[in-house]
Structure 1
Amino acid sequence: PGGVGRQLLQKPTPAPAQHPPVRYPLTGEPRILFWAQNFSVVQGSKWVDLTSQTFGAEASVDVSGSSWSSNDSRLVLKYANVLGSPLTATFHMTSRWFPVSGRDWFQLNRLELATPSARPTVFNASQVTAPSNYSWHCAHLSSLPGFGAGLRGHGPSPSWGVLLQDVQVPAGTPGFSPGSGRGSGREGLGGVLAGACLDEPFPPP
């Protein structure tokens, strides 16, 4: 009985903290939105977790270099100091009309990581695509084989690696709620997302 009592008094495990997405522009109607539970980069054997610098009230990332148009957008994330040097992560996105489906589709064409003293590391991300009124949601988007890969490096061995966990990438449509989709919250998607990537409608405003 004593053991049962102690178990009942234990605090429940808290759910992972939810942070707001990165948005561009910072005020007014958002045109680009990006969210991930974890955003990390690696150079050699040195990992850097950029999550707290990217999302939430304490975020220090600079998005002022971003741009948006109806068919070509860039989300530019500038970090002042990553492993002793400024780092810029640029998400290149396009939107195209497909007559067969009768709708616009957005695509994350590539992701670039650049420092002032070296050539950019470029990853092809063309499989990240969904109707423009949907968001693309995946358990992992990474350049590392141990995490499902998905990002393919251009040229010789890339100097950087990328890991995005529980990532959601919509572009150009307001009304985004991280972790939401198909009328359900994050809890409803948790089991589905293990190894799966989904096109998810934006929740109603």
Structure 2
Amino acid sequence: MAAAKGVRLMAFIAFLFAFFATGSHAAQVPVLLWSSESLPPLASPAAGHITSNDQLTAYLTSAFGSGPHTVLLFLQDKLSKDDFTVFGGVFGNKQDSAFQNLEAALQSSSSVTLPGLEWSGSSAIPALLQEKLGVSPLLVDADTLSHLSINTSVSNLLLINLPYCTDLHKSCKEVLRDNDEIIGKVLSIMKAKNVPYTAMYTGLQPSRVISETSMSNQAVGRSLLQAVVPNVKPPIMFNGTGGPCIMLWALNLNVSLSSTLAWIDLAAQTPSLTGSVCNTTNSRLVLSYESGFVLSFFMSQRLYPVSARNWFTLDSVQLQSSGLTATFIGSRGIYAPAEYSFHCQSVSSFQDTLLVPNNTNQNTSQWRLNFIDFQIQGFGLANGTNFSYASDCAGFFTPGIWMGLLTSLLMLYIFVYGLHMIMRLNTMDRFDDPKGPSISVPQSD
């Protein structure tokens, strides 16, 4: 029994390694199957392999070949392999994984994993199962299932819908952990009812879709250097009553509680947006982190008669930790037209200070902020998915531009001076030899 569990654990680890190695850019969703009885064997897919719909159809035909079957379809709104690598805690703390019940089910039963299934539409997998089982799906939840009488003499397709990160009052990890608890509860109910089942966990669509790039224009052959395109994290977005109203993105959100302590990058953590609000005149974005930090951005917009348009300003940034609060005032430069976003390569509280500390508390006087590649928009989100045109904090006459202008002016001065000297040259009207006799020109009457 221990050896069998070790084999299943190694298979699950191999599945996760296949997740890490899958590098294709085609739209795909992962599919996980496990059964309380047994599933036909399936060779482990090669790294980067995308399973086609025909291959999945052939496998389900062999799995549901004869007799009635009870199938649990855990259908999440969105799911991609990155969700397992980011929130699975595979190489870190196992207790911090968002998929503990799912991992336990895969390790303790007959399971098959497809790291990448070719995605052809949100209804492809439910329609395929409905065709193979010959029954329509029945939408249930854990509470309904506990009171449901399941007839094992006929096939059953039980559909359990799971949300994704649409509720911005919860982090993605919290949503996935709640989904995992639902999976564990449903499996416990099926075990208590003593009903054999086959379960499938997948998504209606990928949570991260990367458009496929053409390889026809790339050089074929060996290369000493390989270009690696980093994954770009999505911006933080808060939804108000009328839709998205605040967006923020930063490469780094560095905070430090003392000039002698190391920086802590909050951008590497997933925040909760509880406490954020927005309206037509004021917006507040509150980022609460599990590490205990709370970072708040206060913005406002108003009409400036001189320019005859509305402008928004980042009035202040507030940092809270261990019951202490430090406030930093956006003294200058952090503003943009209301329909634009604001972008700055560096927003800090200690050099080129766009943020000025406004706290006399000795405990917070040395707190520092340093935001790298910072962009924020608190008003005028027209499309709701992307930032509007960015108003950059960098002035037009940067040091590089000044150096270029001065060098150009110096070269122009040298050119004009030389041209002036050339134009003043005169041709001699006579050619005399000072050592020879003078030229005499006879005159005739």
SS of match in other structure, 1:62: coil
Structure 2: distance between partners of 1:37 and 1:100: 35
Residues 51-86 of structure 1, C-alpha deviations (whole Å, 9 max, x = no match) = 121xxxxx2x110210111111110111121xxxx2
AA of the residue aligned to 2:341: S
Change (3 A) 1:27 1:62: farther
Q: Offset at 1:149?
A: 2.7
Which stretch shifts more, 71-80 or 168-177?
A: 168-177
Q: Structure 1 or 2: larger helix share? A: 2
Verify the 8 A CA contact 1:30 1:173 in the aligned structure 2. no
Q: Which residue number corresponds to residue 376 of structure 2?
A: 169
Find the residue that maps to 1:172 and give its secondary structure.
Answer: coil
Classify the secondary structure of the residue corresponding to 2:243. Answer: coil
Identity, in percent, stands at 31
State which drifts further: 41-50 or 14-23: 14-23
Give the match's secondary structure for 1:25.
strand
Corresponding residue number in structure 1 for 2:353: 149
Using a 3 Å threshold, how does the CA distance of structure 1 residues 16 and 166 change in structure 2: closer, same or farther? farther
| C-alpha contact (below 8 Å) 1:21/1:33 kept by paired residues | yes
Residues 94 and 149 of structure 1: CA distance in aligned 2, closer, same or farther (over 3 Å): same
Match of 2:323 among 101, 104, 117: 117
Counterpart of 1:196 in structure 2 is 394
Amino acid at match of 2:371: L
Letter in 2 for 1:92: F
2:268 is the alignment partner of 1:62: no
**Greater Cα offset, 14-23 or 106-115:** 14-23
Displacement of 1:170 after TM fit? Answer: 1.0
8 Å CA contact 2:240, 2:278 repeated in 1: no
Cα offsets for 1:94-152 (capped at 9, x unmatched):
1101122221111100001012422x11101142111011111111001122xx33111
User: Residues 121 and 159 of structure 1 are in contact (CA less than 8 Å); yes or no, is this contact kept in structure 2?
Assistant: no
Structure-to-structure mapping, 1:7-156, within 5 angstroms: 8-12=223-227, 14-25=228-239, 29-44=243-258, 45-53=261-269, 59=270, 61-81=271-291, 86-118=292-324, 120-127=325-332, 128-145=334-351, 148-156=352-360
Shift of 1:15: 4.2
Runs of 4+ in 1 over 6 A off after TM superposition: none
- Distance between the aligned counterparts of 2:281 and 2:298, measured in 1? 11
Higher RCO, Cα 8 Å, sep 6+ = 1
RMSD of the alignment, in Å? Answer: 2.6
Q: Secondary structure at the match of 2:293?
A: strand
Instruction: Give the drift of 1:7.
Output: 8.4
Structure 1, unaligned runs of 5 or more: 1-5, 54-58, 183-192, 199-205
CA positional deviation for 1:16? 4.4
Larger radius of gyration: 2
TM-score where L is the length of structure 2: 0.35
CA distance in 2, matches of 1:99, 1:130: 15
List alignment gaps of at least 5 residues for structure 2. 1-220, 397-445
Question: What does the per-residue CA deviation read over 1:24-71, in whole Å, with 9 as the maximum and x for residues that have no partner?
Answer: 128972101111111111122132111121xxxxx2x11021011111
- Show the counterpart of 2:162: none
Question: How far apart, in 2, do the equivalents of 1:170 and 1:126 lie?
Answer: 18
TM-score, normalising length: structure 1: 0.72
Q: Is the strand fraction higher in 1 or 2?
A: 1
Number of residue pairs aligned between Structure 1 and Structure 2: 167
Note if contact 1:95-1:105 (Cα within 8 Å) is conserved in structure 2. Answer: yes
* Distance in 1, Cα, partners of 2:323 & 2:348: 24
8 Å CA contact retained: 1:94, 1:108: yes
Task: Identify the residue that residue 59 of structure 2 maps to in structure 1.
Answer: none
